[in-house]
């Protein structure tokens, strides 16, 4: 869709993709999702709730349907004008580059957007990779954690692992006591699952008076080093590495009585706060200067490249936000009401806030293949992607206001968020850290939806 010059082929792809599980054949999901929504509703009512969303949200940070809807509405108001301007910009660019219609169809948009992005930012993975060797990136991450929390890392090759690629470190607190064992499993191999994640081999808990410390694992799938090149990461992979380590810190700093309530065992819409918070540091010039060094020359990544990374990160973010919000509304329409008598088409028309951005297209469906909310665990929870962004941007703003690498703010974050796990309501934890409830401004500024106040 982004690269195919053949417009008919793009259109064909668009329809093929957007009619998955919605074609007139035995794989059509329409009845199945209607049944799912109805059964969930009935289960919630049996348990004494008004809707499925009321049942799910009771144990989330965003406690009620009203909170979620207000949250989506508020972001929508900020994103709409930006999204409209973005469409105008891409349309004007397309017209200058051979597009002959008035309005870009859905199958034209990402094609021209990709060309425009290339022209504006001229930045790609291959230019950046030499500055991000895995070794330097991990050194930089450990140094950042030492600067923030005073913790130190000691490689221990005596500890057995499940594969020779796996690295093991002991993590020590600033007073010298052992906090955790941390394993990094970073390279693909036959039989290993794709993707990136954090998990524990052992959680933290109190066994009588003994504080049992956790064993924490970070898994990624980066390209292996070769004979003449170290393992080099794309910028996105560096963010992933920091992200997973943010989850690891939640486990490493855990301090509670019961493993069920420590570390990352927290509300669904709260668990990405530490991980996404850590991602912010990667775009920070002063942090990059400590580790983003060319693997051959040792040259620190030029400021010009850093600027381009940061500028390109907000490209078309109004539209990206609107798309996420549309998914959020769709989810809440299916799960926040009695779905009796609902049709797939009706629900989609009601909730698609991006509908008038493009010429209308009939015969497609998102719901039929929306596995997050129908087959995954995201029912009445899709909003949490944006919710977590608000949390991490707002929390990070506190670091930023205090010079980024600030020990006092870091300690505060450790005391009120990282060490607490799920022992208190996440809103209480956040308020104890931030002094108030979360505000969306920092996220809006970061994604270019709001000019710096
Ligand atoms: Zn995560």
**Burial letters 312-344, b for 16+ CB under 10 A, else e:** eeebbbbbebbbbbbbbbbbbbbbbbebeebeb
Asked whether the predicted pLDDT for residue 356 surpasses 90, the reply is no
Report how far residue 122's alpha carbon sits from residue 312's, in angstroms, rounded to the nearest whole number.
9
Residues 44-75: tens digit of each pLDDT = 999 999 999 999 999 999 999 999 999 999 99
Query: What is the overall mean pLDDT for the chain?
Result: 96
342 CB contacts (<8 Å, ≥6 apart)?
A: 34, 37, 334
SS (H, E, C) 258-296: CHHHCCCCCCCCCCCHHHHHHHHHCCCHHHHHHHCECCC
125 — pLDDT class (breaks 50, 70, 90): confident
Q: Which residues are catalytic?
A: 244
Task: Tell me phi and psi for residue 16, to 5 degrees.
Answer: -60, -45
Whether the Cβ atoms of residue 354 and residue 324 lie closer than 8 Å to each other: no
364 — pLDDT class (breaks 50, 70, 90): very high
pTM to 2 decimals? 0.93
Residue at token pair 């919605």: 22
Asked whether the predicted pLDDT for residue 453 surpasses 70, the reply is no
Closest by CA position to 321, among listed 63, 86, 120, 53: 86
Give the N- to C-terminal CA distance of the chain in Å, as an integer. Answer: 37
Residues 395-426: tens digit of each pLDDT = 999 999 999 999 999 999 999 999 999 999 99
SS (H, E, C) 314-349: CCCHHHHHHHHHHHHHHHHHHHCCCCCCCCHHHHHH
Percentage, residues of the chain above pLDDT 70:
100
Q: What is the enclosing helix (H) or strand (E) of 44?
A: helix 30-46
Domains (ranges, CATH) in the chain? 7-122+315-384 (1.10.1370.10), 128-270 (3.40.390.10)
Whether the Cβ atoms of residue 443 and residue 400 lie closer than 8 Å to each other: no
Q: How far is the CA of 290 from the centre of ligand 1 (A)?
A: 24
Whether the Cβ atoms of residue 116 and residue 89 lie closer than 8 Å to each other: yes
339 — pLDDT class (breaks 50, 70, 90): very high
Q: How far is the CA of 272 from the centre of ligand 1 (A)?
A: 5
Q: How far is the CA of 160 from the centre of ligand 1 (A)?
A: 26
Whether the Cβ atoms of residue 180 and residue 215 lie closer than 8 Å to each other: yes
Residue 77: per-residue pLDDT: 96
Taking the C-alpha atoms of 171, 177, 180 and 184 in order, what is their torsion angle to the nearest 10 degrees? 10
Q: How far is the CA of 296 from the centre of ligand 1 (A)?
A: 32
Q: How far is the CA of 100 from the centre of ligand 1 (A)?
A: 43
Structure tokens of 44? 């919630």
Q: How far is the CA of 9 from the centre of ligand 1 (A)?
A: 35
């Amino acid at each position: 869709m982004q690269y195919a010059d053949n417009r008919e082929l793009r259109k064909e792809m668009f329809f093929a993709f957007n009619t998955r599980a919605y074609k007139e054949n035995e794989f059509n999901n329409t009845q199945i999702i209607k049944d799912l929504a109805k059964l969930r509703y009935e289960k919630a009512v049996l348990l004494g709730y008004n809707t499925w969303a009321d049942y799910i949200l009771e144990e989330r940070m965003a406690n009620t349907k009203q909170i979620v809807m207000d949250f989506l509405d508020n972001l929508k108001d900020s994103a709409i004008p930006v999204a409209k301007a973005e469409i105008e910009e891409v349309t004007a660019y397309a017209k200058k580059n051979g597009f002959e219609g008035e309005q870009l169809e859905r199958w034209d948009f990402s094609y021209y957007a990709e060309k425009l992005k290339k022209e504006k930012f001229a930045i790609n993975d291959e230019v950046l990779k030499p500055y991000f060797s895995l070794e330097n990136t991990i050194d930089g991450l450990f140094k950042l954690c030492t600067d923030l929390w005073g913790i130190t890392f000691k490689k221990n090759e005596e500890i057995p692992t499940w594969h020779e690629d796996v690295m093991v470190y002991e993590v020590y607190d600033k007073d010298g006591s052992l906090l955790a064992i941390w394993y990094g499993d970073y390279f693909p191999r036959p039989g290993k699952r794709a993707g990136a994640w954090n998990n524990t081999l052992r959680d933290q808990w109190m066994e009588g008076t003994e504080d049992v410390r956790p064993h924490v694992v970070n898994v990624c799938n980066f390209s292996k080093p070769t004979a003449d090149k170290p393992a080099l990461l794309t910028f996105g992979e560096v963010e992933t590495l920091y992200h997973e380590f943010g989850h690891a810190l939640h486990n490493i700093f855990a301090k509670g009585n019961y493993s069920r309530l420590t570390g990352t065992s927290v509300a669904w819409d709260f668990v990405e706060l530490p991980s996404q918070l850590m991602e912010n540091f990667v775009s920070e010039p002063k942090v990059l200067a400590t580790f983003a060094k060319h693997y051959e020359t040792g040259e620190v990544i030029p400021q010009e490249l850093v600027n381009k990374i940061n500028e390109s990160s907000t490209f078309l973010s109004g539209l990206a936000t609107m798309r996420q919000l549309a998914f959020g509304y769709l989810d809440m329409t299916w799960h926040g009401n009695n779905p009796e008598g609902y049709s797939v088409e009706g629900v989609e028309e009601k909730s698609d806030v991006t509908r008038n951005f493009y010429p209308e297209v009939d015969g497609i469906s998102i719901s039929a293949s929306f596995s997050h909310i129908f087959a995954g665990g995201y029912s009445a929870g899709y909003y949490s992607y944006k919710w977590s962004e608000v949390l991490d941007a707002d929390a990070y703003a506190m670091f930023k206001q205090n010079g980024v690498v600030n020990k006092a703010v870091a300690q505060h974050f450790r005391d009120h968020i990282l060490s607490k796990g799920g022992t208190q309501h996440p809103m209480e934890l956040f308020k104890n850290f931030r002094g108030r409830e979360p505000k969306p401004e920092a996220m809006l500024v970061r994604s270019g939806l709001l000019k710096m106040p």
